Each structure stands twice: as C-alpha cells, then as structure tokens.
Structure 1
Amino acid sequence: MNREIPGFYYDSAKRKYFKIEDNKTAPEGASWSRGAVKRRALEKSEEEERKRKESRFGEGVRRARLSIGDFTGVGVSDSRRREEDLPLKVWASGLREKGQKTLWDVSFLSDEGVSDEGVMEGMWVGPQEDDEGADGVCFASWSESAWMFCKGVFRDGDDRITERDTSIRNWGFDIERLGAIVSIKFHTFSQTSIVTGSSRVIVKQPDDNSRLSGGDPYYPGLSYEIPNAEVHCCEISKLSNPNNVDAIFGSTRGLFYYQNYGIHELVPVTRSTLKKIPFHQRPPFWGDILSVDYLKQQDHNIILAGTRSGHICLIDRRTSPKEWESNIFRHKSSVAHVKSLLNSPHEVLAAGPSSAMAIYDIRFLRRQKQAEQNHHCPWNQTTLPIVNFPEYRNEAHIKTGLDILTDPGYGCGLVATAHDDCTIGVYSLRDGSRLPAGDVDKIKAQAVIRSLMWQKLPGDIHPSLFVGLGPRIKKYSFSGEIIEKF
C-alpha cells in the first residue's frame, strides 16, 4: 500500500504522486485538484460507514425466544419428519438380491413358438401350506399366453431362495376360451385364487376340492365367462372369507364383480341405452377400466376405478350409479394403476403413461353433477395432487409393474414401480422422492417389467420385493449392509 504524503495525491493508474492544486490553477477534470480529492475522500468515508452499519444490523438480528422450538415447536415438526423418514431410507438402501426361482425353461417357450425368454405377465408369491416343506409358493404366467406355472419356494440358511425343484405344476388353458392371462390373485385367509384371462375368469375356492377335483389342492377351479369384454385387471377384497369372496374386475365394458359363485355386471348397460347417450357424455365407469382397488380395508363397498380416458372414479356400491358421477376426477394420463394408501384412507395413488404418478386426497373433491355442468365436455373435474413423483419414468406403457408398501412400521410407506427403461425405482410416499434401493437399483431387464410385489414369507421380519424378470422371480430383502450415506 502506498504511503500517504500530506499535500500530495497518488494516482494508482499512473503510479506517481501529484501535488494537490487549487481548483483555479489545476487543469479541468484533473484528479489531483483539491475539489476532486475532497470528493473522493467523502465518498470513501460514506462507503465505509454504510458497510459498518450493514455489519452492525446483521449482528443485531436475533430470533425471538418465543419462536424457538422449546416454546412453540416451530421447526421441530420438520426435523421430526426427517428423522422418521431416515429409518425407511436406510432400510430401502439395504435391499439386496436374495436368490431366484426359475418357473419355466426357455426350451418350453421355443416349443410354443417363442424365440426369447418371455415376459412375466401375472405373478403371485406368498405363504402356502405344502407337503414338501416349502416356505411358500409362487404362481406366474408369461405374456400373451394361457399358460400358468407354479413352484414351491425354498430358502437356505442365509434367507436366499434356492432353485430346489419340487413337483412342477403347469396348466395350459384353452387360450381361445380363457384368453391371455392378465393377472393372478390369491387371498390367503379365504384360500381363494383367481386367474384372470382376457375373456374368462377362473376362481378356485377351498370347497371346490371335494366337489370337483377329488381333493387336488391345485385344481384350477371354476371358469366364468365375461361376455363381450376384454378383462384388464382384478382385485380381491381383504374382507373376503371362505363363505363370502368378493372380487372386482375392470374391463372394456366397465366393472364386473364376483359374489356367490357368479360374475355380475356392476352397472348393466343395454345397447339401447348406449344409443341414446352420446359417447362423450357416457360416464367413464361405463368404458375401459384399466385398474381397480378397494378404498378401505374395513369396507368392500367403496371401489376405485382407473380408466383409459384418464379418469379416477370413486364408486360406492350402496348408492345409485347417478350418485357416482359427482365422484370422478381426472389424472394427467390413462390410469394404469390406482392404489388406496391403507395408512392414509383418504389418499389415492395413480400412475400411468406420460410419466404421470401422483397422490390425491379425495376429501378435496368438489361434489357436483358434472354432466349437468357441462354437456359438451363433462367429467373434467380436476384436483391438485398432494404429492408428485418427478423422477418416475414411463412415457407410453400401460402394462408395468407397481406395488406399494404401507405396512405399520415403515413410515409413510414406499412404492416400487417399473420404468420404461427396464429398471425399477423405489419412491417415498411422503414426498415423492426416489430413494436409494441397494441392488434393486442395479436391475436392468430385457423388457419393461410387468410383475413385482412386496410380500412376507413365513418367519420374515420385513417384507421382500419379488420381481418377475423373464422366466425368473428374484427376491430382494433387507440385509443390514448399508452403503449409501444420508
């Protein structure tokens, strides 16, 4: 720094001293004139004073004592929520591959005229009594076929699924009658299995053994036709029991349900009725239903239906269909999946193409007769989602795997879903963020994954994620090996 000499001005640009002159004798605009020197000194003093005041003002800002969490809890709720999510994130990051079970041989498909391994379409894994000592049983079908495969699930001392072979049970149904198998469902309490084909439904209940099968516990069951419709999905009520099994089906002709050993149409619509009502004014639940679920565990009368047109219908079977019209709202795309979040009975998850997955709160719906509000474009009621999933990727696929985990002890829960790049993502149901999921993040299939589910086998503390990859079912369980840091 240059030394200040009284009566002289130092010009940093020219790097030399100039004697300060009076304004009358100094050249016009000279930086060493007495007026220019005083002006710069005043500006420098004002700038230093301004900075000093700013620093003093910052030091004087203090949070009021009443706003501290010890008094009012301000800021405590967010930190507690983060702490509640931390165990769930740690658990998800510890998912590791725990073996696989092959359900069919590639040579079997080559005999059927299929050149690749095939894509697993329907899948169910769960506990099941078995004379051979299996820990569980798995059912699966491959896409666009009427073949269903069954194998017992055996585990070793490290909780890994082994390829130990048992008596394999394969059923080849008449594809011209049943159509391609689209889903396999099993209700443990009622011991009821439902195999849904695109044109027929096969239901097996425990008392079918003695009446029809001569005691074979794996007898396929009774076949029911759903006329003039292509079936897309099925869901069994958790309240079902051996004497009263309730199931709902979504099809191209709306909703059907199973009760008392029969398939019934939820809203019978005649051809004459269809002719009277223009297509754009028909209620969405008359049309193509891609996904179904029961809203609450305690009541099987309230049904959720997701349509190809992008509507979510809330249906109460105790009321008339006219009342259902006020409980319809739109999603951003076709609703390939609709799930009720059992730990939040008013919240509904919807997912479909255009990478659209969101959670809605049905309490925010405006109850209005939409067809009467707008005759030209009804059923356009919308509601803002309470949670979005920005990292979900599925641009064009309807048939993708998705399942939620909302068991007690897992916070707000998880959703595992297939992406269109043949991978799987695990997301938090609280804020829609994608979570590190250990070996699940390493999955890379040959085609978009269509089958996955969370399930516990006998003796398990935590549920495992079962994924259908070609002819194999792979298991991913928490191992306690945490690599990711939070």
Structure 2
Amino acid sequence: MNREIPGFYYDPEKKKYFRIQANHKAPSGSQYTKDSVKRKRADHEKHQRKIHLTKRVAKEKITRATFLSHPLIGVQREIGSQHVSTSIRQEQTSSIYASQFRRNQLHQFEPWPDEYTIKHVLRNKRSGILIASGHRGGESSVSVCFPDCDQDKWTYNRTMERVLFKEPYRLSSVSLSHTGYLLASMDSGPDGDSFLAPRMLPDPDEGGDYRWPTSFSHPIRLRTASSLWCSSACPVGDMPLFAIGTSDGLYTLEGFGSYWALSKKPFPNDMAGNSSLHRRVDSSHALVTSVEWLSSDVIAAGLRDSAIFLHDLRSGGTATRLQHPHAVTKMRKVDPYRIVVSGINSLQMYDIRFPPNGLQRNPKPNTKYHTSTKPYLTFSDYSPEVIPDFDISLELGLLASASDERKIQLFSLRTGRQVPSPLSQYQYESSISSVCFESGDGSLHGPQTPSLLVCAQATVDEWIWSNSPKTI
C-alpha cells in the first residue's frame, strides 16, 4: 500500500505521485488540482464501499439448493418462480419421459422368422389390430394380428394372425387411415404391373369379436400404369383420402367400399414462381419417393432428385419449395409450416415460410454442383440404416431414428441434439426395419401414454414409460 505524502496525490493507474496544484494556478483541464483530487478520492471511496457491500451480500445471502431446479422434482415450477417457454418445458418433460422408456415384446409374427423380413409395422389405435408387411425376394405379404380384448390391455398371440394377401409383387408402402381403411401399394409384378389395394379393417363388436364386412370377400385392386413408391393417409375427414407417390408424379385416392377414384395432380413446371426455370418431367425428375400431409388441403411430395413440392387441393396449384441435399426418402410434419426430411445421409427440418433458396432447374443429388435449401434445424448426429426410417412424436417433442448400429437414436425436435435414454442403449440382434410412434390417447385397451413400436426381423417391441426398475 502506498503511503500518503502531504501535497502529493498517488495515481494508482499511472503508479506515480503528482503534486497537487492550487485551483487558481493550475491550467484549464488539469487532472491534479485540489478539487480534482478531492473528487477522485470521493469516487474511490464510493467504489470501495460498493465492493464491500457486494461481498457482504454474497456472503450473507441464502441461496437455493441446486437440486430444487431439477426438472423431475419441479419445485420451482410449483411455486411459480420458474418462468420458461412452453417448448423448453416440453423438452424437459420429454427428457424425463425418455429416461424411463422400458421394452416390452409386443408380438412375434409366425411366417417371418426364416423366410420373410418385416418392412412396415402399424397399429390401428381404434381397434388395436397390428399390421405387418414383409417381403421375400419378389414376393410380398400383408398380415394382421387381432388383439385379445378380454384383458385390461391389448395382448397378441399367433392364433389370432391372418394373412390379408400374399402376392408376387414388391410391396412399396402401407398406410392406415383414421377411418379404418388400410391401403397397400404393390409394384413390379410378374408383368411389370402395379396395383393399389384399399381395404376396410373390422372393428370389434360388443362381444369383442372381429368380423369382416361381406362386401370385402374379394380384395379390391386398382391397377396403374405407373410404378408406385409411397402413400400417406389424410389425418382428418369423414372419407378416406390417400396421397400416393408414383414414377410420374403425385396422385390422390379417395372413396369407400368398392368405389374409389384415382386422380393425378399437376407436376410443378417452375421453380417457386420463376417461369424461366422449367423443370424436366421425365421419369428421373418426376419420381415421388415420399408424401406427407401438411394439412387437410396441402400435400408435400419429395422427389428422387431431392426437390420437394407442395400441392394445394383447394386451388389445384403446385410449386417447388425446397431442395434436400440427397434424394428424399421420408418426410414427417411438425406443424403446417415445418417438416422433417430424411435422405440417405441427411436429416433436416425446414420451414416453408422462409424464402426459397438453393433451388435448381434439374437438381442432381450427390454431385459437387448440387445445392440445397438452408434448413431450419439440422440433426447432425444422424447415422441411419441403409434404408433409413424415422418417426416423430409431437406430444413428446422427440424424433426416433433407426441407426446403423442396430439402435434407436432419439433427438429433440427443438434443438436437434440427441436425448439419452435406455432405448438408445439397447442394441438389436438384427437391423431395425420400422419405427412408429403411438400417441397416448387414453383408449380402453391401448397405451395410456405415448409409446414407440420398433420392429427388427420378426419381433415387434413396444417401448413405453415405466417407473419400475425392471431391466430391458
């Protein structure tokens, strides 16, 4: 500490002593006049008192324990001291839910183990019917398993399995409407032909029995000249309505019973309204590999050439809006404006409200000249199977994807980061072919909380919330 010398002022910044000058003798603007030095000492004492007060408050203040902010306890939320957005709160809830995922073997289908490989797995949440489609070489099959409704929850056994049809075709897609109609698209038949097979699934009667309507004794076949690649059911409406992706563009299928109408939709011949960029419409640039309903009126169609166009059923208009880094393999809606798109090695979320960018006249994915739309969110740790499959749960704000390590990756839809879970640590013996989230809609015999159906080879597992310490 520097000692005080009468008539001098020690400047701590310059680390020197300066003579204190009389006010009337010092030149204008001098820093070391009697009044200036007085102000400097007063400011210094004020600053020291402030530092002392801050240290005293920090020492005597009672701080909350860190465990009170743990999301599982939720004390701060209950007393109203925690103010977080809805999305952050959902992410905290989903992290807790994912940490309690437990595996339950739901069913193992009879025909599949040594011959067939299951490709799609769905469950009708209205009736509980489990649907599985598989293939073996050039032959495909669709089977259903009826649940036992005598129990508190749906259970399945092999005696309740039925084969809907087995055909020498490539089964390209299976989609289920909320109205109870199942649509299978069959392609690459013996004569190179294709057909669509809509069928109504039965509901249980008062006695818990499932009876097929007499009008469906013979399956319906709607033959098409184009190859069929994908399908998706409209989530609302009184009538079943399906979007279908083919080798020559987008179609819709609407009807009931034995009466169905197949309608082709216009293909976009311009890039986001720019009439100078006319697209080719041959098979390589018109092949729709994925379809998804953004609303009851708007369909998103993803192409093999990486472009994504939107079609509005009200106006009949169609326009290209996005371009993915790779050929589009699957799409899932987050809301009417955001959509998650997967490719061979890419998984990204886009927002169609952003101005379109990265669009090309004739895109060629996997080349150095290919460009893509700037994504809203990127899932950077995505490492998919050879044929990638994923699904999302809006209730949990989670995305589940089958990884190349025969595991399930969980991602947050808010941040794109992986979410730790016992589900992600479990490794299957064979490749995962299908993942499908189910909502916890509180049906009588169905799951009461959100669950995930995972299929590997012949086994269908149900991953669901459980607070029991049972191992997986």
TM value normalised by structure 2: 0.67
Quote how far apart the aligned CAs of 1:172 are.
Answer: 3.6
The 1:106/1:143 distance shift into structure 2, 3 A limit, reads closer
The equivalent residue for 1:151 is 145
Correspondence for 2:182? 193
Note closer, same or farther for the CA distance 1:357–1:104 as it changes in structure 2 (3 Å cut).
same
- 2:106 is aligned with 1:100: yes
2:129 is paired with a residue whose SS is: strand
| Residue 341 of structure 2 is aligned to residue 350 of structure 1 | yes
SS in 2 for 1:364: coil
Q: Unaligned regions of 5+ residues in structure 2, if any?
A: 1-14, 17-46, 55-81, 188-193, 203-210, 269-275
Q: 2:330 aligned with 1:337, yes or no?
A: yes
Please state whether the residue corresponding to 1:333 is helix, strand or coil: coil
Provide the C-alpha distance between the structure 2 equivalents of 1:476 and 1:192, rounded to a whole number of angstroms: 26
Residue pairs, 1:22-61, within 5 angstroms = none
The alignment partner of 1:439 has SS state of helix
Change (3 A) 1:302 1:128: closer
Q: Is the 8 A contact 1:256 1:266 kept in 2?
A: yes
8 Å CA contact 2:391, 2:435 repeated in 1: no
Pick closer, same or farther for the CA change 1:335–1:284 going to 2, 3 Å.
farther
Task: Return the offset for 1:329.
Answer: 1.8
Q: Which residue matches 2:167?
A: 174
Specify which of 427, 441, 445 is matched with residue 443 of structure 1: 427
Question: Residue by residue, what CA displacement relative to the aligned partner does 1:228-278 show, whole Å, maximum 9, x if unpaired?
Answer: x3212111111232xx32111112222121024122322389xxxxxxx99
Counterpart in the other structure of 1:304: 300
User: Residues 231-246 of structure 1 correspond to what in structure 2 (within 5 A)?
Assistant: 231-241=228-238, 244-246=239-241
Tell me the CA shift for residue 430 of structure 1.
0.6
Q: How many residues align?
A: 369
More helix by share: 1
Distance 2:436 2:212 in 1: 33
Within a 5 Å distance, the mapping from 1:288-327 to structure 2 comes to: 288-296=287-295, 299=296, 301-319=297-315, 324-325=318-319, 327=320
TM-superposed deviation, 1:358: 1.2
Q: Normalising to structure 1: TM-score of the pair?
A: 0.65
Superposed, which structure 2 residues align to 1:421-460 within 5 Å?
A: 421-456=405-440, 458-459=444-445, 460=447
2:207 maps to what in 1? none
Q: How far apart in 1 are the matches of 2:177 and 2:374? A: 34
Alignment check: 8 A CA contact 1:119 1:143 kept: yes
Measure the CA separation in 2 of the matches of 1:218 and 1:419: 39
- Residue 399 of structure 2 corresponds to 415
1:401 aligns with 2:389: yes
Are 1:126 and 2:109 matched, yes or no?
A: no
Structure 1 equivalent of residue 174 of structure 2 = 184
The CA RMSD measured in Å over matched residues stands at 4.2
Residues 360 and 128 (structure 1), Cα distance of their counterparts in 2 relative to 1, 3 Å cut: closer
Measure, in 2, the Cα distance between the counterparts of 1:206 and 1:294. Answer: 22
Deviations 1:388-415 (A, max 9, x none): 1111112x73x332211113xx3xx111
Instruction: Give, as a single letter, the amino acid of the residue that structure 1 aligns with 2:132.
Output: A
Partners of 1:84 and 1:476 in 2: how far apart?
19
Instruction: Report the counterpart of residue 87 of structure 1 in structure 2.
Output: 93
Partner amino acid for 2:412? S
Unpaired segments ≥5 residues, structure 1: 1-44, 47-54, 63-75, 130-135, 208-212, 270-276
How far residue 317 of structure 1 moved from its aligned partner, in angstroms, is 3.1
User: Does residue 1:230 correspond to 2:227, yes or no?
Assistant: yes
Using the alignment, how far apart are the partners of 1:443 and 1:155 within structure 2?
A: 32
Aligned 8 A contact 2:290 2:329 in 1? yes
Partner SS, residue 185 of structure 1: strand
Which of 185, 197, 208 is 1:202 aligned to? 197
Checking the alignment, whether the CA contact within 8 Å between 2:306 and 2:328 is kept in structure 1 is: yes
Report deviation, 1:59. Answer: 5.9
Identity of aligned residues (%): 17
